[in-house]
Amino acid sequence: MTARILLLPGDGVGPEVVDAARRVLERASELWRLGLELESGLIGGAAMDMEGDPLPPSTVAACKAADAVLLGAVGGPRWSDPSSPVRPEQGLLRLRRDFDLFANLRPVRVFPSMVDRAPLRADLLSDVDILFVRELTGGIYFGARQEDDGSGEAHDTMTYRTSEVERIARVAFEAARRRRHRVTSVDKANVLASMRLWRRTIDRVAADYPEIGLEHVLVDACAMYLMQRPSGFDVVLAPNCFGDILSDEAATLAGSLGMLPSASIGHGNFGVYEPIHGSAPDIAGRGVANPTAAILSAALLLRHSLGRDDVARGIEEAVKASFASGLRTADVAGPNGRICSTDEFTGSVLDLLE
């Protein structure tokens, strides 16, 4: 097989963690004879500096020619003015919208060797295996908005169409079929009209999946249950904003935002894969960033866009074994971990892939 992978390192620690994932992809390509072709492009603040656009036409063209995209992170203090008409995160939002990447998959698993790094009791973390299915191109992030024009008033609009809810619901129910047959749908139907449409639509789609258990949970209650009984969740289906917040909260279960990967997919095989963490400008360039989320995002890329679950599992096991050896980047080191650099942790994963 051959496949074209576009790397979009972005800003902050993005180039460092994407470079780690690149090395893993290159080694996997050699070991499994994948024939991967890797190239790089610009996005976010780096693209603004070079081309004045957070998602320049050259990057869009490269995305169209690629089988999948691996992205690092966007944003940083240099471009942090929220009132600026052009901002780094606009490139990421346009990428999701223009390629109709409406489903964001965020798996949350706790490695046994890492239970001491979460702020919960170890017994609560046993068997935690959650898949967040987040609607990605609708809701309040993409609704009509009005900035404050001096009147002292601004608004953002949370809009959902039935068709948008139906398609993300089917992604969640299909995923549950391959897992433990449970879907938790998150909303705020007691307050928001858009969420009442969400709940009605989820119920209608659920009728096509009688073997899947469905529960509706209000978003505030879900936030509490994630800390009280995280192992009780299987697939969590959430609107854009709520899914963003809840999956970041769930990162504490794994020990750090640096641990969790994500996949943004649509109807075809093309997808954009990225860590859920930000650009972490405070540690950029120091060689201490945790590359785990980027490496696991590369594994998701192999699984979802290229259909190579075997290679993805190989990478995931190499990461798991690296943590089991006691090797840790500083964000998850704790009192017993052997603190290592980004490069050293990546080197361990590469050795274990052999």
Q: State the pLDDT at residue 60.
A: 97
**183 Cβ contact list (under 8 Å, min separation 6):** 172, 173, 176, 206, 212, 213, 214, 215, 234, 235, 236, 237
Task: Indicate whether 208 pLDDT > 90.
Answer: yes
Q: In what order do the strands lie in the sheet with 182-187?
A: 36-40, 3-10, 68-73, 271-275, 261-265, 103-109, 129-135, 235-238, 182-187, 213-218
Which has the closest alpha carbon to 131: 112, 113, 101, 104?
104
Per-residue pLDDT of 134-164, as tens digits, reads: 999 999 998 998 888 889 999 999 999 999 9
b (16+ CB within 10 A) / e for 186-208: bbbbeebebbebbbebbeebbee
Which pLDDT value is given to residue 124?
87
Q: Catalytic residue at 248?
A: yes
Q: Name the residue ranges covered by the structural domains of the chain.
A: 1-101+268-354, 119-254
pLDDT at 1 over 80: no
- d(Cα 174, Cα 264) in Å, to the nearest integer? 16
Choosing from 49, 220, 282, 309, the catalytic residue is 220
At residue 196, the pLDDT reads: 98
Considering 11, 141, 160, 320, which one is annotated as catalytic? Answer: 141
pTM, rounded to two decimals: 0.93
Is it true that 1-101+268-354 and 119-254 share their CATH fold?
Answer: yes
Q: In 3D, which of 56, 22, 61, 52 has the Cα closest to residue 38?
A: 22
Is residue 244 annotated as a catalytic residue, yes or no? yes
- Do the bridges between strand 271-275 and strand 261-265 make them parallel or antiparallel, or are there none, so unpaired? antiparallel
Evaluate if residue 257 carries a pLDDT over 90. Answer: no
The C-alpha atoms of residue 199 and residue 98 are separated, in whole angstroms, by: 27
Assign domain 119-254 to its CATH architecture. Answer: 3-Layer(aba) Sandwich (3.40)
Q: Which of 129, 156, 248, 343 is catalytic?
A: 248
Q: How far is CA 206 from CA 32, 194, 217, 246, in A?
A: 39, 18, 15, 22
Catalytic: 100? no
Q: How many CB atoms lie within 10 A of CB 250?
A: 23
Q: Which CATH architecture describes the domain 1-101+268-354? A: 3-Layer(aba) Sandwich (3.40)
Catalytic residue among 188, 209, 234, 331: 188
Does the annotation mark 273 as catalytic? no
pLDDT in tens, 293-342: 999 999 999 999 999 999 999 999 999 999 999 999 999 987 777 899 99
188 is catalytic: yes
pLDDT tens-place string over residues 66-105:
999 999 999 999 998 877 889 999 999 999 999 999 999 9
CA distances from 67 to 5, 36, 262, 271 (A): 6, 10, 17, 8
Task: Please write the tens of the pLDDT for every residue from 297-311.
Answer: 999 999 999 999 999
| Percent residues over pLDDT 70 in the chain | 100
The Cα-based distances of 141 to 90, 144, 161, 313 in angstroms read: 11, 9, 14, 33
